[in-house]
Amino acid sequence: MNEMRDAATQTSERANAVETTYREAVREAIRDALRRDDRVFLMGEDVGRYGGCYAVSKGLLAEFGPERIRDTPLSESGFTGAGIGAAMAGMRPIVELMTVNFSLLALDQILNSAATIRHMSGNQFGVPLVIRMATGAGRQLAAQHSHSLEGWYAHIPGIKVLAPATVEDARGMLWTALQDPDPVLIFENVMLYNMTGGLAAAAGPVEIDKAAVRRMGDDITLITYGGSLWKTLAAAEALQGDAINAEVIDLRSLRPLDNDTILASVRKTRRALIVDEGWRSGSLAAEVCARIVEGAFFELDAPIGRVCSEEVPIPYARHLEEAAIPQTSKIVAAVKAIFGKAR
Amino acid sequence: MTATTDKPHLTREHSLDLLARMIRIRRFEDKSAELYTQEKIRGFLHLYDGEEAVAVGVIPVLGESDRIVATYREHGHALARGVPMGEVLAEMYGKQEGCCLGRGGSMHLFDSARNFYGGNAIVGGGLPLAVGLGLADRMRRENHVTACFFGEGAVAEGEFHESLNLAALWSLPVLFVCENNLYAMGTALALTESETDIQRKAACYRIAAEAVDGMDVVAVEAAARRAVRAVRETGKPYFLECRTYRLRAHSMFDAQLYRDNAEVESWRRREPILRFSEWLKANHMVHAEEIARIENAVADEIEQAVAFAEAGTWEPVETMTRYVCAEKQHE
Ligand SMILES: Cc1ncc(C[n+]2csc(CCOP(=O)(O)OP(=O)(O)O)c2C)c(N)n1
């Protein structure tokens, strides 16, 4: 795919980049897809007249009309299933679910239909569908709007699970996902929508099957994704003061996981810490940890660490919400503990 | 056969065709039950005995490019649609010569060449898919009809209501065919629905609806012609409730504690094959020898299907994980 730009070109282009928000980058990706391919349409609750619950699709209705920017009733299962059917019949729908919590009402369709149909039908039918949804805590939306369940979805064979953490990925992952013959779920962390970053004027599709090393280092590998990437990078900077040079890996794709990038880094640094906004028990962090143990056990100098969400429904009060999810200070402390340094 | 008029033209030839199609399904199901007791077929097996007039009345009215979504009780639908019997049976054996490589089994028959979108074993799960197929056709201005079959048990599911609303709201060419056999597993309709006149539910969504005697293949075909024509002409959904009865157990694991024999026997006297063949005989439209000829041809076909399934092979375990996702095209 020569259309796609690798990390190196992206970095060199950053110089003449324009400042844009993550939200605008997602919108531009949707707009671009709608322009490129008339099989593409966006469907979901309040994506049209309201402009999207996180204002992602604002303005698209006026540009593309109600056929392609399709407001749906509050029928998550119904319209997600409709997206599956439309994809099977040759369209390229983008289904937007307001948040991962509401996606549970469509879980039947995602797991029992979208993820199974290719295999169950002996490869006769595929479901080239993209489902986007917001995930994560930080806006004091309490216990029914703040969870990070992308790790659950990463459990399911037959779908791909993406977590764009940068403006480039927000802009670039959608089109590649739409080219995929199978269902792709894209998780947009709510705390990233207002984040700004430089985006090259020529920004376009990016690879979706590789993790990215966002910071080079030799002493420990910090593995994370989505909204936690920026906290982890901040922690890595802070650790520099303690003479700990951390490498930071952004998983980008939660299913499939890029084992090679993870293991190559851990073999170099000999230490690893995973930062995951999901709950610790049965988490994606646990899966990454297991893979490191399976693939690099004898190269480890220390037990693997994890910083995950506390095992509570995400609380409303700000201090509790902050305490419940990974924070830079917790990451710093966990890394120091691995190095046997007290706070 | 294309639906130019709503009335089935009951020539002798057409009558014999309807009869033969129903007998074919019935004998296939008989054989399946037998093969199940021999443990050739495993898992859940849901047989269609008593309901043949629905699939046979509706499916041949559809055109080749129309689409079908069915449930786990779908052998009859697959056969009526033309999925080769050998491939259906091999699938039920779990052989890789089956229509889904043996991965789906009895409940998950798919056939892309015949626009047969499966065998769905989630009650109500097929309805949103049918809405999406209709949506794709609507958006591309293609004049296909999607026929979606489901039991009356699905009516209690949220997906039923979501789907009817979406189909009506967006004006989608979907024909909803409710096979009301009065029981969802062991639970009678009256124990689960406040309104047991199922077709009335469509009215809340402003969907044209009718109920038909699902034990009368001619009546079902006439209703299906009206329905398919309405969908094709208006581009809007239509709801057809076929009132029928399941003569066998829900699946092979059902002691049928919820209904008594007398009830089943009373329905047996009204079952569609008996009823249609008696009517044809009374009207001198069919002779006993012709029925015998149909039975013989079906028996031959079944024998060949069994031989095909028996000769089938098991997919090697090494390839089991193929097609979880699409394979990359190698250039
Ligand atoms: C969502 C869901 N709930 C429960 C079941 C278990 N189940 C399988 S068939 C069935 C009865 C469905 O009855 P109906 O829709 O009337 O169809 P019928 O079997 O009579 O053809 C039930 C409860 C299921 N497969 N899916």
C-beta atoms of B100 and A81 within 8 A:
no
- Exactly one of A24, A45, A76, A321 is catalytic; name it: A76
The answer to whether A28 is a known catalytic residue is no
Q: Which helix (H) or strand (E) holds B98?
A: none
User: Measured between alpha carbons, how far is residue A126 from residues A129, A157, B312 in Å?
Assistant: 9, 14, 25
| pLDDT 10s digits, A23-44 | 999 999 999 999 999 999 999 9
Q: Do the chains contact at A120 and B100, CB–CB below 8 Å? A: yes
d(CA A117, CA B323): 10
Nearest CA to A197 among A209, A177, A214? A214
The rounded distance, in Å, linking the Cα atoms of A318 and A141 is 10
> Which one, of B100, B32, B90, lies nearest residue B311 by Cα?
B90
Average pLDDT of B19-45?
97
What DSSP state is assigned to residue A59?
T
The stretch A219-228 carries a mean pLDDT of 98
Distance CA A94, CA A132 (A): 7
CA distance B73 to B67: 17
Least confident window among A140-144, A329-333, B198-202: A140-144
**What percent of chain B lies above the pLDDT cut of 70?**
98
* A237 assigned to active site: no
Give the span between the Cα atoms of A193 and A327, in whole angstroms: 18
Spatial CB neighbours of B224, under 8 Å, sequence gap ≥ 6:
B57, B58, B61, B175, B240
**B interface residues, A as partner, C-beta within 8 Å:** 67, 98-104, 108, 110-112, 117-118, 120, 122, 125, 127-137, 139-140, 158-159, 162-163, 165-166, 169, 322-326
Structural contact between residues A79 and B284, judged by C-beta atoms closer than 8 angstroms:
no
Q: Are A110 and A80 in contact (CB under 8 A)?
A: yes
Q: What is the pLDDT of residues A83-102, one digit of tens each?
A: 999 999 999 999 999 999 99
Q: Burial code of A106-145, b = ≥16 C-beta within 10 A, e = fewer?
A: bbbbbbbbbbbbbbbbbbbbbbbbbbbbbbbbbeebeeeb
Between helix B217-234 and helix B272-282 the angle, nearest 10°, is: 110
Neighbours of B315 (CB within 10 A): 18
CA-based radius of gyration for chain A = 20
Contact between B132 and A83 using a beta-carbon 8 Å cutoff: yes
Residue B229: alpha-carbon gap to chain centroid: 20
pLDDT tens profile A307-337: 999 999 999 988 999 999 999 999 999 999 9
Q: Which domains does chain A have, with CATH numbers?
A: 8-200 (3.40.50.970), 212-338 (3.40.50.920)
Residue ranges and CATH numbers for the domains of chain B are 4-319 (3.40.50.970)
CA-based nearest residue to B44, from B124, B106, B110: B106
A31 CB contacts (<8 Å, ≥6 apart)?
A: A60, A63
The structure's pTM equals: 0.89
With an 8 Å Cβ cutoff, are B128 and A182 in contact?
Answer: no
Interface confidence, given as ipTM, is: 0.81
String of DSSP letters for A243-300: T--EEEEE--EEES--HHHHHHHHHHHS-EEEEEEEESTT-HHHHHHHHHHHHHGGG-
Q: Is the peptide bond before A93 cis (omega within 30 degrees of 0)?
A: no
pLDDT at residue B331 greater than cutoff 70: no
Which band of pLDDT confidence, cut at 50, 70 and 90, is reported for residue A1?
Answer: very low
Q: What is the pLDDT of residue B9?
A: 81
By CB neighbour count within 10 A (0-12 exposed, 13-18 middle, 19+ buried), where does A172 fall?
Answer: buried
Confidence of residue A2 (pLDDT cuts 50, 70, 90): very low
**Tokens representing residue B212 in the block:** 């038909």
Q: Over chain B, what is the mean pLDDT?
A: 95
Assign A212 a pLDDT band (cuts: 50, 70, 90): very high
Distance of CA B215 to the CA centre of its chain: 14
Residues whose beta carbon lies within 6 Å of some atom of ligand 1? B 73, 121-123, 151-154, 179, 181, 183-185, 246, 250
Q: Is the Cβ–Cβ distance between B130 and B120 less than 8 Å? A: no
Query: What's the gap between Cα A186 and its chain centre?
Result: 6
Ligand 1 closest atom vs CA B125 = 1
The closest residue, in CA terms, to atom 19 on ligand 1 is B184
Per-residue pLDDT averaged across B271-279, rounded? 97
Confidence of residue A11 (pLDDT cuts 50, 70, 90): low
* Catalytic residue (choose from A145, A188, A247, A287): A145
Question: Cβ(B296)–Cβ(B27) under 8 Å?
Answer: no
> What is the reported pLDDT for A14?
56
